[in-house]
Amino acid sequence: MNELQRVRDTSEPLERVRLATETLADYQSAIAELGKIRRDTVDYLRSQGMTLSEIADKAGVSRARLSQLSTVTKKAPERAIFSDGSPITIAVDTKQEGESGRPVVHQEHTAAIDILNRTARRLGLDVSEVEYIVPPGLIDLNRDGLVVVCGPRRSPLIAQMLAADERYGFEKDADGWHLLDKASGQRFRSPEDLGKPGDYAYLGRLPRPDGRGYWLYMAGIHAPGGQGAAMYLERELGDLYKDVKAGRWSCLVECGWNPATRQIDRVELLAPIHQPGRQSARQRRK
């Protein structure tokens, strides 16, 4: 735990943020690897004829915890929204902090990483890496199991890929960034820009540039929207899969938070789930 103590002992606030972010990423990678080792070992022991109860008793761990682990390894079909089984890479954008100019991750995006990690583990998928997108926003989108949390203002490449969505997208005008329903022409401007505790986000599964699969994408007009999209995905994953299976789709999500704590306490669909080739987008329950 030397890294944790080093973060605690760092007195300069911006340096502490940087070290905490880097250390958290290292710990998340270690947790993912330890989870894989444990699952593989349990699978091996079961292949040798041991029951979960026997493994729990002899290893001195909770039977209930191993039972939860066993349900993960059954490969829930909705995991196809994330990956075909390949390890997941989560890529998040960064901003340059004040005087130091160092790239840092929004607090809300760190929360989104935690939510995506938790969802992936529940599905039996491993998060192999957390990748940080720095200016000018270049990223390799031709990878299996890629999840991106990055607004188009941080990456012209992301903006270019979003332009291919015939239904939803981001747009910027004299009043700032907003989300657009291209079919109706309706513009969704973030409540946060009006001083209200809320934000809007884009959430979708988009085709890779090489045409050999898809990548999962989410981003808010502001950083809280990305966290809200991750929360909506976690909560609605089963129903989303029933609707869209492993195809291409997109939707808009709304989130709200407690003004006193800035903790997000509400996520719901803002605009219907759209799939190319369907006459109209479908409205999921809120």
Domain CATH code at residue 143: 3.30.379.10
Query: The dihedral of CA 85, 87, 123, 236: what is its sign?
Result: negative
- 217-269 pLDDT, tens digit per residue, is 999 999 999 999 999 999 999 999 999 988 999 999 999 999 998 899 999 99
Domain that residue 107 falls in: 81-274
281 assigned to some structural domain: no
Contact assessment for residue 157 and residue 93, using Cβ atoms and an 8 Å cutoff: no
Tokens of 43: 């699978």
| HEC letters along 176-223 | EEEEEECCCCCEECCHHHHCCCEEEEEEEEEECCCCCCEEEEEEECCH
Q: Are strands 264-274 and 176-181 parallel, antiparallel or unpaired?
A: unpaired
If 0-12 CB within 10 Å is exposed, 13-18 middle and 19+ buried, where does residue 273 land? buried
If 0-12 CB within 10 Å is exposed, 13-18 middle and 19+ buried, where does residue 165 land? buried
284 assigned to some structural domain: no
Integer Cα distance of 30 and 7 in angstroms: 18
Q: Which of 49-58, 121-130, 197-206, 270-279 has the lowest mean pLDDT?
A: 49-58
Structurally, the chain folds into a number of domains equal to 2
Q: Which of 60-64, 142-146, 211-215, 262-266 has the lowest mean pLDDT?
A: 60-64
**Domain boundary, last residue among 58, 74, 90:** 74
Shared-domain flag, residues 224 and 175:
yes
Shared-domain flag, residues 58 and 173:
no
240 assigned to some structural domain: yes
Q: CA dist 144 to 86, 127, 213, Å? A: 6, 12, 7
By three-state DSSP, how is residue 250 classified? strand
Shared-domain flag, residues 29 and 129:
no
Integer Cα distance of 114 and 130 in angstroms: 11
Shared-domain flag, residues 34 and 89:
no
**Domain boundary, last residue among 74, 109, 138:** 74
Tokens of 161: 């890929």
Shared-domain flag, residues 153 and 37:
no
- 45-55 pLDDT, tens digit per residue, is 776 777 777 88
Shared-domain flag, residues 172 and 234:
yes
Shared-domain flag, residues 88 and 137:
yes
Shared-domain flag, residues 212 and 98:
yes
Integer Cα distance of 152 and 221 in angstroms: 9
Shared-domain flag, residues 87 and 64:
no
Q: Which of 259, 255, 270, 258 is nearest to 188 (CA)?
A: 270
Q: Which of 101-110, 179-188, 212-221 has the lowest mean pLDDT?
A: 101-110
**Domain boundary, last residue among 31, 54, 74:** 74
Q: CA dist 240 to 37, 126, 234, 250, 272, Å? A: 30, 21, 10, 11, 12
Q: Which of 219, 119, 127 is nearest to 165 (CA)?
A: 219
Shared-domain flag, residues 114 and 25:
no
- 25-83 pLDDT, tens digit per residue, is 778 777 878 877 887 788 777 767 777 778 888 888 876 676 666 544 557 889 999 99
Shared-domain flag, residues 212 and 90:
yes
178 assigned to some structural domain: yes
Shared-domain flag, residues 101 and 144:
yes
Q: CA dist 198 to 20, 33, 133, 154, 190, Å? A: 27, 35, 25, 21, 7
Tokens of 275: 């799939």
Residue the block writes with tokens 């991106």: 148
